[in-house]
Protein backbone atom coordinates (compact mmCIF):
# COMPACT_ATOMS: atom_id res chain seq x y z
CA UNK A 1 0.00 0.00 0.00
CA UNK A 2 1.19 3.58 -0.66
CA UNK A 3 1.30 5.36 2.69
CA UNK A 4 1.73 9.13 2.89
CA UNK A 5 3.09 10.52 6.15
CA UNK A 6 1.87 14.09 6.52
CA UNK A 7 4.43 15.35 9.04
CA UNK A 8 7.90 13.81 9.29
CA UNK A 9 8.69 14.36 12.98
CA UNK A 10 9.40 11.98 15.82
CA UNK A 11 6.59 9.47 15.47
CA UNK A 12 6.66 9.48 11.66
CA UNK A 13 10.34 8.61 11.92
CA UNK A 14 9.70 5.80 14.42
CA UNK A 15 7.02 4.32 12.12
CA UNK A 16 9.19 4.65 9.02
CA UNK A 17 12.10 2.99 10.82
CA UNK A 18 9.81 0.15 11.87
CA UNK A 19 8.40 -0.31 8.36
CA UNK A 20 11.85 -0.31 6.78
CA UNK A 21 13.37 -3.01 9.04
CA UNK A 22 15.07 -5.73 7.03
CA UNK A 23 12.96 -8.34 8.91
CA UNK A 24 9.97 -7.25 6.80
CA UNK A 25 10.02 -8.70 3.30
CA UNK A 26 10.24 -5.99 0.64
CA UNK A 27 6.93 -7.04 -0.94
CA UNK A 28 5.10 -6.60 2.40
CA UNK A 29 6.50 -3.15 3.18
CA UNK A 30 4.31 -0.13 2.53
CA UNK A 31 5.68 2.29 -0.06
CA UNK A 32 6.38 5.43 1.95
CA UNK A 33 5.88 9.06 0.95
CA UNK A 34 6.91 11.93 3.21
CA UNK A 35 6.06 15.59 3.53
CA UNK A 36 6.86 18.12 6.25
CA UNK A 37 6.86 21.89 6.59
CA UNK A 38 10.37 21.75 8.06
CA UNK A 39 12.91 21.86 5.26
CA UNK A 40 14.96 18.66 4.83
CA UNK A 41 12.89 16.58 7.34
CA UNK A 42 10.98 14.64 4.71
CA UNK A 43 14.02 14.25 2.47
CA UNK A 44 16.17 13.05 5.38
CA UNK A 45 13.54 10.50 6.37
CA UNK A 46 13.12 9.30 2.79
CA UNK A 47 16.88 8.84 2.55
CA UNK A 48 17.12 7.06 5.93
CA UNK A 49 14.16 4.72 5.58
CA UNK A 50 13.53 4.50 1.86
CA UNK A 51 10.64 6.22 0.14
CA UNK A 52 9.84 9.44 -1.65
CA UNK A 53 9.78 13.04 -0.53
CA UNK A 54 6.68 14.82 -1.82
CA UNK A 55 7.09 18.40 -3.02
CA UNK A 56 3.82 19.45 -1.38
CA UNK A 57 1.09 18.09 0.87
CA UNK A 58 -1.16 17.83 -2.19
CA UNK A 59 1.43 15.75 -4.03
CA UNK A 60 1.75 13.49 -0.96
CA UNK A 61 -2.01 12.91 -0.82
CA UNK A 62 -2.14 12.19 -4.55
CA UNK A 63 0.56 9.51 -4.20
CA UNK A 64 -0.99 7.80 -1.15
CA UNK A 65 -3.83 5.34 -0.66
CA UNK A 66 -3.58 5.91 3.11
CA UNK A 67 -2.70 9.34 4.51
CA UNK A 68 -1.26 9.21 8.03
CA UNK A 69 -1.71 12.47 9.92
CA UNK A 70 1.52 12.82 11.89
CA UNK A 71 1.36 16.48 12.87
CA UNK A 72 0.88 17.86 16.39
CA UNK A 73 -2.76 17.99 17.52
CA UNK A 74 -2.90 21.80 17.30
CA UNK A 75 -1.76 21.61 13.62
CA UNK A 76 -4.32 19.02 12.50
CA UNK A 77 -7.02 21.48 11.40
CA UNK A 78 -4.61 23.53 9.28
CA UNK A 79 -2.98 20.43 7.78
CA UNK A 80 -6.36 18.99 6.76
CA UNK A 81 -7.65 22.32 5.44
CA UNK A 82 -4.71 22.48 3.03
CA UNK A 83 -5.54 19.15 1.36
CA UNK A 84 -9.23 18.65 2.15
CA UNK A 85 -10.56 18.44 -1.40
CA UNK A 86 -7.83 15.96 -2.42
CA UNK A 87 -8.71 13.48 0.33
CA UNK A 88 -11.88 12.20 -1.35
CA UNK A 89 -11.65 8.41 -1.60
CA UNK A 90 -8.51 8.16 0.58
CA UNK A 91 -8.08 6.42 3.90
CA UNK A 92 -7.10 8.91 6.59
CA UNK A 93 -5.48 7.67 9.79
CA UNK A 94 -4.78 10.22 12.50
CA UNK A 95 -2.07 9.75 15.10
CA UNK A 96 -2.98 12.98 16.88
CA UNK A 97 -3.68 12.65 20.58
CA UNK A 98 -6.95 14.07 21.86
CA UNK A 99 -8.67 14.67 18.50
CA UNK A 100 -11.82 12.53 18.15
CA UNK A 101 -12.90 10.85 14.93
CA UNK A 102 -16.02 13.07 14.89
CA UNK A 103 -13.84 16.20 14.67
CA UNK A 104 -11.81 14.68 11.84
CA UNK A 105 -14.93 13.59 9.96
CA UNK A 106 -16.28 17.15 10.17
CA UNK A 107 -13.08 18.45 8.52
CA UNK A 108 -13.04 15.92 5.67
CA UNK A 109 -15.02 15.40 2.46
CA UNK A 110 -18.16 13.26 2.90
CA UNK A 111 -17.50 9.52 2.81
CA UNK A 112 -13.78 9.86 3.56
CA UNK A 113 -12.83 6.83 5.61
CA UNK A 114 -11.09 7.88 8.78
CA UNK A 115 -9.76 6.19 11.90
CA UNK A 116 -7.27 6.78 14.68
CA UNK A 117 -4.09 4.92 15.53
CA UNK A 118 -2.02 5.65 18.62
CA UNK A 119 1.43 4.14 18.21
CA UNK A 120 4.22 4.23 20.74
CA UNK A 121 7.92 4.74 20.07
CA UNK A 122 8.63 0.99 20.18
CA UNK A 123 7.23 0.78 16.62
CA UNK A 124 10.75 1.76 15.52
CA UNK A 125 11.95 -1.74 16.48
CA UNK A 126 8.76 -3.58 15.53
CA UNK A 127 7.63 -3.94 19.14
CA UNK A 128 5.02 -1.20 19.35
CA UNK A 129 1.60 -1.34 20.89
CA UNK A 130 -0.78 0.50 18.57
CA UNK A 131 -4.28 1.45 19.67
CA UNK A 132 -6.86 1.49 16.91
CA UNK A 133 -10.19 3.29 16.93
CA UNK A 134 -11.71 2.13 13.62
CA UNK A 135 -13.96 5.20 13.25
CA UNK A 136 -15.43 5.13 9.73
CA UNK A 137 -12.79 2.88 8.13
CA UNK A 138 -15.43 0.20 7.53
CA UNK A 139 -14.12 -2.79 5.59
CA UNK A 140 -10.78 -1.00 5.04
CA UNK A 141 -9.95 -1.60 8.69
CA UNK A 142 -8.27 -4.92 7.83
CA UNK A 143 -5.83 -3.25 5.43
CA UNK A 144 -4.98 -0.58 8.00
CA UNK A 145 -4.42 -3.24 10.70
CA UNK A 146 -2.19 -5.17 8.33
CA UNK A 147 0.07 -2.20 7.58
CA UNK A 148 0.38 -1.06 11.20
CA UNK A 149 0.61 -4.67 12.41
CA UNK A 150 4.02 -4.82 10.69
CA UNK A 151 5.45 -2.64 13.47
CA UNK A 152 3.71 -4.00 16.55
CA UNK A 153 0.56 -5.30 18.15
CA UNK A 154 -2.63 -3.51 17.07
CA UNK A 155 -5.24 -3.35 19.84
CA UNK A 156 -8.74 -2.14 18.94
CA UNK A 157 -10.14 0.18 21.60
CA UNK A 158 -13.51 1.83 22.09
CA UNK A 159 -12.86 5.48 21.26
CA UNK A 160 -14.38 6.56 24.60
CA UNK A 161 -11.42 4.83 26.28
CA UNK A 162 -8.79 5.93 23.78
CA UNK A 163 -7.16 8.54 26.05
CA UNK A 164 -7.08 6.11 29.00
CA UNK A 165 -5.48 3.44 26.83
CA UNK A 166 -3.03 6.00 25.37
CA UNK A 167 -1.87 6.94 28.86
CA UNK A 168 -0.62 3.35 29.23
CA UNK A 169 0.56 2.34 25.76
CA UNK A 170 1.65 5.77 24.48
CA UNK A 171 2.94 7.43 27.67
CA UNK A 172 3.85 4.20 29.47
CA UNK A 173 7.18 3.74 27.64
CA UNK A 174 8.16 7.25 28.80
CA UNK A 175 7.21 6.45 32.39
CA UNK A 176 9.12 3.16 32.21
CA UNK A 177 12.15 4.90 30.66
CA UNK A 178 12.16 7.38 33.56
CA UNK A 179 12.25 4.42 35.96
CA UNK A 180 15.00 2.81 33.90
CA UNK A 181 17.09 6.01 34.04
CA UNK A 182 16.60 6.19 37.81
CA UNK A 183 17.59 2.53 38.20
CA UNK A 184 20.78 3.19 36.24
CA UNK A 185 21.56 6.26 38.30
CA UNK A 186 21.25 4.17 41.48
CA UNK A 187 23.60 1.57 39.98
CA UNK A 188 26.20 4.24 39.21
CA UNK A 189 25.83 5.70 42.72
CA UNK A 190 26.52 2.19 44.04
CA UNK A 191 29.80 2.08 42.09
CA UNK A 192 28.97 0.46 38.72
CA UNK A 193 30.35 1.98 35.53
CA UNK A 194 27.78 3.60 33.21
CA UNK A 195 27.83 0.81 30.60
CA UNK A 196 27.30 -1.97 33.12
CA UNK A 197 24.60 -0.01 34.96
CA UNK A 198 22.77 0.53 31.66
CA UNK A 199 23.01 -3.10 30.61
CA UNK A 200 21.85 -4.46 33.94
CA UNK A 201 19.03 -1.96 34.42
CA UNK A 202 17.69 -2.44 30.87
CA UNK A 203 17.88 -6.23 31.29
CA UNK A 204 16.03 -6.04 34.61
CA UNK A 205 13.22 -3.90 33.15
CA UNK A 206 12.95 -6.06 30.01
CA UNK A 207 12.86 -9.23 32.16
CA UNK A 208 10.12 -7.82 34.41
CA UNK A 209 8.11 -6.79 31.33
CA UNK A 210 8.44 -10.30 29.82
CA UNK A 211 7.32 -11.90 33.10
CA UNK A 212 4.51 -9.35 33.38
CA UNK A 213 3.12 -10.49 30.02
CA UNK A 214 2.69 -14.01 31.39
CA UNK A 215 1.61 -13.16 34.95
CA UNK A 216 -1.83 -11.54 35.14
CA UNK A 217 -1.06 -10.16 38.63
CA UNK A 218 2.20 -8.15 38.52
CA UNK A 219 2.11 -7.78 42.31
CA UNK A 220 2.69 -11.55 42.45
CA UNK A 221 6.09 -10.89 40.80
CA UNK A 222 6.85 -8.28 43.46
CA UNK A 223 5.97 -10.78 46.23
CA UNK A 224 8.04 -13.51 44.56
CA UNK A 225 11.23 -11.41 44.51
CA UNK A 226 10.76 -9.95 48.00
CA UNK A 227 12.07 -12.43 50.54
CA UNK A 228 11.55 -10.97 54.01
CA UNK A 229 14.60 -9.07 55.22
CA UNK A 230 16.19 -9.36 51.77
CA UNK A 231 17.75 -6.80 49.43
CA UNK A 232 14.69 -6.29 47.19
CA UNK A 233 12.40 -5.86 50.22
CA UNK A 234 14.70 -3.12 51.52
CA UNK A 235 14.47 -1.27 48.20
CA UNK A 236 10.71 -1.75 47.84
CA UNK A 237 10.22 -0.27 51.31
CA UNK A 238 11.96 2.90 50.12
CA UNK A 239 9.79 3.05 46.95
CA UNK A 240 6.64 2.62 49.01
CA UNK A 241 7.72 5.20 51.58
CA UNK A 242 8.24 7.60 48.64
CA UNK A 243 4.72 6.72 47.41
CA UNK A 244 6.15 5.72 44.00
CA UNK A 245 3.25 3.31 43.18
CA UNK A 246 0.67 6.02 43.94
CA UNK A 247 2.68 8.58 41.93
CA UNK A 248 2.79 6.29 38.88
CA UNK A 249 -1.00 5.78 39.02
CA UNK A 250 -1.43 9.57 39.40
CA UNK A 251 0.83 10.09 36.35
CA UNK A 252 -1.55 7.94 34.28
CA UNK A 253 -4.54 10.08 35.37
CA UNK A 254 -2.61 13.31 34.68
CA UNK A 255 -1.82 12.07 31.17
CA UNK A 256 -5.50 11.24 30.53
CA UNK A 257 -6.56 14.70 31.75
CA UNK A 258 -3.99 16.35 29.48
CA UNK A 259 -5.48 14.76 26.34
CA UNK A 260 -8.48 17.09 26.38
CA UNK A 261 -6.19 20.15 26.48
CA UNK A 262 -4.10 19.23 23.40
CA UNK A 263 -6.21 20.27 20.44
N1 LIG B 1 6.01 11.38 19.56
C2 LIG B 1 5.33 10.30 19.93
O3 LIG B 1 5.87 9.40 20.59
C4 LIG B 1 3.88 10.14 19.56
C5 LIG B 1 3.21 8.91 19.86
C6 LIG B 1 1.88 8.75 19.44
C7 LIG B 1 1.23 9.76 18.77
N8 LIG B 1 1.87 10.93 18.52
C9 LIG B 1 1.12 11.96 17.80
O10 LIG B 1 1.79 12.17 16.58
C11 LIG B 1 1.69 13.52 16.19
C12 LIG B 1 3.08 14.02 15.84
O13 LIG B 1 3.90 13.98 17.01
P14 LIG B 1 5.48 14.13 16.89
O15 LIG B 1 6.02 13.92 18.25
O16 LIG B 1 5.99 13.31 15.77
O17 LIG B 1 5.56 15.70 16.50
P18 LIG B 1 6.79 16.48 15.84
O19 LIG B 1 8.07 15.76 16.08
O20 LIG B 1 6.66 17.90 16.28
O21 LIG B 1 6.51 16.37 14.27
C22 LIG B 1 5.45 17.03 13.64
C23 LIG B 1 5.99 17.63 12.36
O24 LIG B 1 4.88 18.02 11.57
C25 LIG B 1 5.23 19.27 10.96
N26 LIG B 1 4.03 19.93 10.48
C27 LIG B 1 3.18 20.78 11.14
N28 LIG B 1 2.17 21.15 10.33
C29 LIG B 1 2.35 20.52 9.15
C30 LIG B 1 1.64 20.49 7.92
N31 LIG B 1 0.54 21.21 7.73
N32 LIG B 1 2.12 19.70 6.92
C33 LIG B 1 3.24 18.97 7.08
N34 LIG B 1 3.98 18.96 8.22
C35 LIG B 1 3.54 19.73 9.24
C36 LIG B 1 5.95 19.99 12.06
O37 LIG B 1 6.63 21.11 11.54
P38 LIG B 1 6.78 22.43 12.53
O39 LIG B 1 7.66 22.00 13.64
O40 LIG B 1 7.34 23.47 11.62
O41 LIG B 1 5.38 22.75 13.00
C42 LIG B 1 6.86 18.89 12.59
O43 LIG B 1 8.05 18.79 11.83
C44 LIG B 1 1.04 14.27 17.34
O45 LIG B 1 -0.30 14.56 17.01
C46 LIG B 1 1.09 13.31 18.51
O47 LIG B 1 -0.06 13.42 19.34
C48 LIG B 1 3.18 11.13 18.87
Residue-level pLDDT at 217: 93
11 lines ligand 1 (CB under 6 A): yes
* Beta-ladder partners of 66: 3, 91
Let me know: does 65 contact 2? Beta carbons within 8 Å: yes
Q: b or e along 217-227 (b: 16 or more beta carbons within 10 Å of the residue's beta carbon)? A: eeeeeeeeebe
Query: Nearest Cα to 51, choosing from 37, 72, 38, 36?
Result: 36
95 lines ligand 1 (CB under 6 A): yes
- Give residue 111 CA to ligand 1 midpoint distance, Å: 26
SS3 assignment, position 224: helix
Q: Whose CA is nearest to atom 21 of ligand 1?
A: 9
Residue-level pLDDT at 262: 75
Query: Average pLDDT by consecutive 10-residue portion of the chain (263 residues)?
Result: 96 96 93 94 94 95 96 94 90 93 92 93 93 95 97 95 92 93 98 98 94 91 92 96 97 92 74
201 lines ligand 1 (CB under 6 A): no
Residue-level pLDDT at 263: 64
- Could you give all domains of the chain from N- to C-terminal order, each with its CATH number? 2-158 (3.40.50.720), 172-259 (1.10.3730.10)
pTM for this entry? 0.86
Q: Whose CA is nearest to atom 27 of ligand 1?
A: 71
- Give residue 9 CA to ligand 1 midpoint distance, Å: 5
36 lines ligand 1 (CB under 6 A): yes
Amino acid sequence: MDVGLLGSGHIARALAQGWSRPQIAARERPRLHFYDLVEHSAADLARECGGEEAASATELVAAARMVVLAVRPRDVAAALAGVRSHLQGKLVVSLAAGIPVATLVASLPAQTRVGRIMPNVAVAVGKGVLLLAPGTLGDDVGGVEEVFGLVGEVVTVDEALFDAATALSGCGPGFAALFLAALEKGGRAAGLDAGTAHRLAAGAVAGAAALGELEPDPEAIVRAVCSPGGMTAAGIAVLEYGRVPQSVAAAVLAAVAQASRLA
